[in-house]
Structure 1
């Protein structure tokens, strides 16, 4: 009976990886990438050289991961899956559908509001100062004053700017 419970929870974990990732604290800046985009190999071109355990990470992100492995390996694959999602996210948000999702979050000020009084709480937009991963953290841009800000939350400040 316990084995059934464990395998069921593992299944639930992998079945909803993207939902879990998007809803996790600190990942509010990300939008959900459409399944069709994630499964189109053209959109993933070149990422296999950027991501360790690429195929396992992709399987996890696309909810087909079915590998029995120890906790250490699982954590390594999880880390790779987060990185892969971020890299694909950077590509996705420049598509029509991705721009629409980011615009919706922007209009709702989900990324925050400009701290300058003269900007009247103008919404901020996440941006990267570099498209090279692990180089610069995410920043927030105000289109009204055209200034760049650091995220208030440390969990947002840890997000790689290359994902935007």
Structure 2
């Protein structure tokens, strides 16, 4: 979970205390400042730009809620939507990719549930481009499969914070993290009968052979 002392606003401090927020990167304040500056200098005549300006000011700590109870649910949703978009841009940048690499190396995103993948670390990505399925998925580079998160707190995260192409982009940037496929194939499971390894059986006829 992020260290709240590094954030320039109370809103970000609260955002990074939510369950599952350890999946998100701590976007560097200087990077946030640079990206939000574009929103702050847009044409105020456009209603969408005005909304971006509001969100940017809140994230940078330049605007606080006028209510003692904080921002309304509608405002919080708007600010979070804006930050999710920022996060997707951040993880595609050199500093963001480096931060994800650190989390990946520590196994923050979990490990592949398949035994033959030898606890290969997973990388997050957007589950689907469908607006009704904007959750998060976990990609294993060893078996080239995707999985749903193991915990509900992660399943509820917004996959758009990473995007559909993030897993591919990550391993293009860090090809040395792609495991040796020969090692994977060598350790592929093969059924045994009374200790004898069965050879020449396809996946489809293994159970027919046993019957």
DSSP-derived class of the 2:138 partner: strand
Name the stretch that deviates more: 93-102 or 81-90. 81-90
Distance 1:115 1:100 in 2: 25
DSSP-derived class of the 1:33 partner: coil
Distance 2:107 2:51 in 1: 35
Q: State the number of aligned residues.
A: 150
CA contact (8 A) 1:124 1:142 kept: yes
The CA RMSD measured in Å over matched residues stands at: 3.0
2:20 corresponding residue in structure 1: 26
DSSP-derived class of the 1:140 partner: strand
* Aligned partner of 1:64 among 55, 62, 65: 62
TM-score by length of 2: 0.61
2:97 corresponding residue in structure 1: 99
| Gap runs ≥5 in structure 1 | 1-13
| Gap runs ≥5 in structure 2 | 1-7, 163-211
Distance 1:44 1:132 in 2: 28
CA contact (8 A) 2:135 2:157 kept: yes
TM-score by length of 1: 0.76
Distance 1:114 1:135 in 2: 22
CA contact (8 A) 1:150 1:157 kept: yes
Bigger RCO of structures 1 and 2 (CA < 8 A, at least 6 apart): 1
Instruction: Choose 1 or 2 for highest CA Rg.
Output: 2
1:113 corresponding residue in structure 2: 111
Query: CA 1:111–1:44 in 2, change beyond 3 Å: closer, same or farther?
Result: farther
CA contact (8 A) 1:139 1:149 kept: yes
C-alpha deviation, 1:70, in angstroms: 7.3
